Structure 1
């Protein structure tokens, strides 16, 4: 018997940063909690699991504890969208705890998986038994997912709410979550598109950044990284300076960063930088992507009070652009 070809895996649809829909439109939207982890599209084919990050990188080997798929998917062919998360003692996603797993592919992976397993939170169903569901409205895809209920082992089908966005947003804050994602009930799934019909509404502003350099530290950080010089790409594809990040680092994060910073002789930023920044800057190849939390943008395009959250290997440097308006 010839095995069927596995279903294709699309790039994930992305949400646009924004505000909750106005009350008059609330009933036209569905709401999900925003999970603080790594986006992953999964494919279940012939009992085997494949996982792909937003960058289209195959990350299956990094999370072996997810390989045992729920009973609801036994004998099924499916493509699903979700988030890989590490949960803290209170059951809340902890992005910092996930950092140690994101770049691992060696023999230590199984030991780490046994000691602190991750969870796959599923929130969309893109294909089932050879049928492409991406052209269906969100409300119908969620109904199919709720009917399938792919929960069990290290998998959880997440809740969603029709309307009531303000209450869902408040509940996310009360439970220490990152925010909510609002999705138009009639929205089809548009692979690889950052679409206005999906909105991510966070309690803090988060921004992906490209690391372009660093400045030496002082005190106990003397001789190493004190702060990172980071940027985003503008509409013309130029890497423009967005500020320096000197807080939010753990000792382990700094240790992991050091071997990844590949030196270069000149600044990778397109704009001229002030002398107080360049005089002791060490420039690096703009190949690393990180995430920062920040208060907002200044008039000259710098992030206010940025704090480092960690590296992201699920986003390509060239895809990093400004996510929040001033």
Structure 2
């Protein structure tokens, strides 16, 4: 009888990888344990491993666990893994099969409803993975690993997948709020960038400009942002800014705005753009539009978006005169004043957000 772990061993060098290396053939187990590992390899994906007949039957899912029943995701059937992989996490050396960092995303038990070569239907009982799911073999003759994964039961109460785009809330021209009410306002610098909305889901980034047009190919610098956030799903409002000599460069931004695809990739090397995030509109299955501005900013700060080609510029609660003076000193076009308790109203422009020129 063939050892079901032969393929696993064939793809690895025992002396070069910290992964488990069982000596003999697999032994029968309980057939009810699972692990999902977040795998930062060449492309970020999630490895789903279900205990079955002494091994972990495995699928690589590029965008991770779908949380709503209407979402279907590719699932690539890979080689069986040893049960010792249930608690494996660590760094697989570069150049080795699956090279990259791997961490346990969730683990627990599952129930088997159906299991055959055509479909695997299970119920996950994990810390994060909960509910009824179907792995379906599409029997594509050109790709034996071509399966899909989708949820069969309703999403958790209140869960809503993030929209890829919402019409941005706009600011109206205005003057600095009076000093007596200064503490009712928060202030941001006007960087003069290109208004951009980012939906990050399943480790992938989709970018739209303020008209709703898909501009993902225009900003290749943002692809790694998806890997930074991992499985965290958000909708971010902000702007793309080209910086030269420490200041926004409108000419450089204009050049970048004309490039797409391979041209954008070439330009990104000598004229990089940066995403400045200043609002969080959706977070982990929940819209945040009705939360006060200050609360949304706190949540945005907690995402840890620093480094790379993205950041969360500082805002100031009160102190409008000083912020305006700093903008003038640094050659910026102005500042925004936003009511500290304001909700986010897509497509609206009212007195809750003011654009104040220098």
TM class, shorter-chain normalised? 0.5 to 0.7
8 A contact 2:201–2:226 mirrored in 1: no
- SS, match of residue 225 in structure 2: coil
Partner residue of 1:152? 307
State yes or no: 1:66 paired with 2:222.
yes
Say if 2:89 is the partner of 1:26: no
Give the Cα separation in 1 of the matches to 2:309 and 2:261.
21
Which structure's residues are more often strand, by fraction?
Answer: 2
The structure-2 alpha-carbon separation of the partners of 1:106 and 1:131, relative to structure 1 and needing over 3 Å to count, comes to closer
* 1:112 and 2:112 matched: no
Distance in 2 between residues matched to 1:72 and 1:31, nearest whole Å: 27
The CA deviation at 1:35 is 1.1
2:252 is aligned, of 76, 97, 119, to 97
- The structural deviation recorded for 1:152 is 2.2
3-state SS, counterpart of residue 187 of structure 1: coil
User: Of residues 9, 29, 36 in structure 1, which corresponds to 2:192?
Assistant: 36
- Counterpart pick for 1:88 among 216, 232, 244: 244
- 3-state SS of the aligned residue for 1:110? helix
The one-character-per-residue Cα deviations of 1:88-111 (angstroms, maximum 9, x if unpaired) are: 12x211111111111222422211
2:66 corresponds in structure 1 to: 3
Runs of 4+ in structure 1 deviating by more than 6 angstroms, as ranges, are: none
Greater relative contact order structure (CA < 8 Å, 6+ sep): 1
- Contact 1:86–1:118 (CA<8 Å) still a contact in 2? yes
Instruction: Trace 1:1-326 onto structure 2 (pairs within 5 A).
Output: 3-4=66-67, 6-8=161-163, 9-69=165-225, 73-89=229-245, 91-203=246-358
* Cα distance between partner residues in 1 of 2:248 and 2:212: 23
Q: TM-score, normalised by structure 2?
A: 0.54
Q: Cα deviation per residue 1:62-95 (whole Å; 9 max; x = unaligned)?
A: 0101111176522200001111000012x21111
Q: What's the TM-score, normalizing by structure 1? A: 0.60
SS state of the match for residue 247, structure 2?
Answer: coil
CA distance in 1, matches of 2:65, 2:291: 30
Contact 2:235 2:281 (8 Å CA) reproduced: yes
Q: Larger Cα Rg: Structure 1 or Structure 2?
A: 2
CA RMSD of aligned residues (A): 1.5
Q: Which runs of 5+ in 2 are unaligned?
A: 1-63, 72-160
